Amino acid sequence: MKKSQIRKKIFYLRKKNSYKNLEVSFEDIMHILKKNKFLRDRKRIGGYYPYNYEVDSIKILEKFEKKNFQISLPRVKKNSQMDFFQWSIKDPLYINQYGIPEPINKRITYPSILLVPLLAFDKNMNRIGYGGGFYDRYIKKIKKIKKIITIGLAYSFQKVKEIPSNKHDVKLDFIITD
């Protein structure tokens, strides 16, 4: 299947299942971080504001904030680029040109742990997003600056047999589902 066909199919499934209130476990994320010894001095986590029936990461980010993690959310820029800006659950957000809430804060931060939204994924940790390449570009950029762990958040029905990938696509380190 082509990426566009996968996007269409999985988006339909995600919308169809949105009423089920499926969740990804915060404890599962913490287990991965502890198992991989990724909690030492790495208390900066980048999340996302859920959009188009994505896994609700806000509840997860709230739990991280209660454990004294520095939280950040992305803001998109020109040329399909983005940066992450410090944010707290209590902070206001504004709506960008895509209808996605973004932090108002102007303080760029570089997360060590990145929660990544996705439309579809396969067993090889390949993912498909909306097609803009925002996360692929960001992950490549930040990996030149520091060590980072990437964790995709998805529902189990978003898994497909194979994601066609190219040189621009970045594999994730982990994918956690409901």
Helix residue spans in 48-145 (DSSP H): 58-66, 134-143
Residue 61 domain boundaries: 3-18+25-177
| Tens-place pLDDT, residues 98-114 | 899 999 989 899 999 99
pLDDT at 24: 92
pLDDT at 29: 93
| Tens-place pLDDT, residues 119-171 | 999 999 999 998 888 999 999 999 999 999 999 999 999 999 999 888 889 99
CA distance 60 to 114: 12
Instruction: Work out the angle at residue 74's Cα, subtended by the Cα atoms of residues 81 and 80, and round it to the nearest 5 degrees.
Output: 15
| Tens-place pLDDT, residues 14-55 | 988 887 878 899 999 999 888 877 666 678 999 999 988 999
pLDDT at 127: 95
Grouping H, G, I as helix, E, B as strand and the rest as coil, residue 120 is strand
Q: Based on the structure, what is the number of domains in the chain?
A: 1
- Under 8 Å between Cβ of 21 and 126: no
pLDDT at 72: 97
pLDDT at 176 over 80: yes
Are β-strands 127-128 and 120-121 bridged in parallel, bridged antiparallel, or unpaired?
antiparallel
The greatest distance separating any two alpha carbons of the chain, rounded to the nearest whole angstrom, comes to 43
pLDDT at 40: 65
Q: At 79, which CATH number?
A: 3.40.50.10420
Grouping H, G, I as helix, E, B as strand and the rest as coil, residue 76 is strand
